[in-house]
Structure 1
Amino acid sequence: MSEKAPESPNRYQLMEQIQKVDFALVELTLYLDTHPDDMNQIQQFNHLAYESKLLKQQYEQYFGPLRQYGESYSGYPWNWGEGPWPWQL
């Protein structure tokens, strides 16, 4: 018996998760700019940075490139023109 392929996540729910984590990263960046010795928040920042990376990799696996400037690979054929764009979700 062949293994069943994993079910594709909901595009909109996954994008919402990415946006929430990235928002928290922006807020933590601002906080850490003025509190650079707060080890707990540095650890939280690093945890969320890792989570953001994994979520974006998962999004791209199912829905195509998300980040520009060489941070995302293109499928073949070139698939940067396929929509919807992340900001259209």
Structure 2
Amino acid sequence: MQTTEQRAMLKELQQADFVVVELTLYTNTHPDDMEGLEQWRLAIKEAARARKAYEKRFGPISYHSIPSEQALETGWRWNQAPWPWQM
């Protein structure tokens, strides 16, 4: 069962990832917009920060994640419950 803190951090991460996707689409169609490109760079940094904070507290969010220190210490295994979306 997710805690209020975990749900809030996951929502923040999902929002940050959404912004990256939208700005990626925008910069693909507006390659000369330097302000858009800068916003995209900042969005990537923010999404990375949110992901790192979430994973430090709750463990890996996807198989693409480099295992966090916590995951290594607790012996996180993807084939063992609970999975991140079940917590």
TM over 0.5: yes
**Of 32, 45, 50, which residue of structure 2 is paired with 1:50?**
45
Query: Do 1:64 and 1:79's aligned partners in 2 also have CA atoms closer than 8 Å?
Result: no
Query: Do 2:60 and 2:84's aligned partners in 1 also have CA atoms closer than 8 Å?
Result: no
**1:82–1:72 CA distance, 2 compared to 1 (3 A):** farther
Number of residue pairs aligned between Structure 1 and Structure 2: 79
Q: Deviations over 1:12-48 (max 9, x none)?
A: 1111111111111111111111101111111111111
TM-score by length of 1: 0.75
The 5 A counterparts of 1:3-22 are 10-22=5-17
Supply the RMSD in Å over aligned alpha carbons.
2.0
The 5 A counterparts of 1:4-83 are 10-69=5-64, 71-73=65-67, 74-75=71-72, 76-80=74-78, 81-83=80-82
Stretches of structure 2 lacking an aligned partner (at least 5 in a row): none
TM-score by length of 2: 0.76
Point out the structure with the larger helix share. 2
Distance in 2 between residues matched to 1:83 and 1:47, nearest whole Å: 33
Distance in 1 between residues matched to 2:38 and 2:45, nearest whole Å: 11
Q: Which of structure 1's runs of 4+ aligned residues deviate more than 2 A? A: 78-86
> Which one-letter code corresponds to 1:41 in the other structure?
G
